[in-house]
Amino acid sequence: RSGSPLSPPAALSQVTVRDALNQALDEELERDERVFLLGEEVAQYDGAYKISRGLWKKYGDKRVIDTPISEMGFTGIAVGAAMAGLRPVCEFMTFNFSMQAIDQVINSAAKTCYMSAGSIPVPIVFRGPNGASAGVAAQHSQCFAAWYGHCPGLKVVSPWSSEDAKGLLKASIRDDNPVVVLESELLYGVPFEMSEQAQSKEFVIPIGKAKIEKQGTHVTLVAHSRPVGHCLEAAAVLSKEGVECEV
């Protein structure tokens, strides 16, 4: 047969959001010795939701740090570390309890670069589960996207798929500004297809750019976090009726 064969399509793997976040943390801890993770149960217990599984054994006490149940305290430590040149990833077991540390997140982290005329960057990531979940009661079920989205000085991301979760968390850790990463607890165990490219160590998704999950010409549906999946399901229904949605 003449002619060169077509190159095979990029391999796709099924990866859960939990494992994608774990990959991102592992790769960034390995890449930059200034990166460290702290929060409740992130080390010896492997994380309340197992996002940090295996990282304490691999990187040790200085890079993966169990904290007391004191959000205001360990968030303040993380913000100070960022001001001093480290790149902390501060995990809230649930974003509902980031309210305990709201002064540190907003008045210390978000405002310092501006208040110092750009001389003191605060490269920090605040991450953890946000929004509704299953059977976790009222104190664990609120969505803080609008709260944090209204605070100047913060970048806020809210991923849907495994690719989003990995690419946005890596971009957040590399960013020189404070970034709030709002994860959906209901998506942690959901597998998504991830390309070989998305699983590479240098894969990042740029913050602040809309991602088109489905092309369409009639109407645009905009969502973040878990509702992206609902919009894709609605788009599939409407497609049968001749309405092509962009999601």
Report the b/e string of 36-63 with b at 16+ CB within 10 A.
Answer: bbbbbbbbeebbbbebbbebbeebeeeb
Long-range contacts of 224-227, Cβ-Cβ distance < 8 Å, separation of 24 or more: 224/145, 224/158, 224/160, 225/130, 225/131, 225/145, 225/158, 225/159, 225/160, 225/182, 225/184, 225/187, 226/131, 226/160, 226/184, 226/186, 226/187
State residue 133's pLDDT score: 87
For residue 121, give Cα distances in angstroms to 80, 132, 154: 11, 33, 12
Q: 69 and 92 in contact (C-beta within 8 Å)? A: no
Q: Which tens digits make up the pLDDT trace of 56-99?
A: 999 999 999 999 999 999 999 999 999 999 999 999 999 999 99
CA distance 226 to 198: 20
**In the chain, where the domains are located:** 13-199, 210-246
Q: pLDDT at position 4, please?
A: 44
DSSP string of 176-226, one letter each residue:
SS-EEEEE-GGGTT-EEEEETTTTSTT----TT----SS--SSEE----ST
Residue 11: pLDDT band (50, 70, 90) is: low
Residues annotated catalytic, as ranges: 71, 140
Which of the two residues, 10 and 81, has the higher pLDDT score? 81
For residue 83, how far is the Cα from the chain centroid? 21
Is the pLDDT at 148 greater than 60? The verdict is: yes
The model's pTM is 0.92
pLDDT at 5: 45
Q: Which residues pair with 212 in a beta bridge?
A: none
pLDDT band at 137 (very low <50, low <70, confident <90, very high): confident
Topology of the domain comprising 13-199: Rossmann fold (3.40.50)
Q: Give residue 9's pLDDT.
A: 52
Q: What is the pLDDT of residue 10?
A: 58
**Which of 73, 59, 65, 60 shows the shortest CA–CA distance to 40?**
65
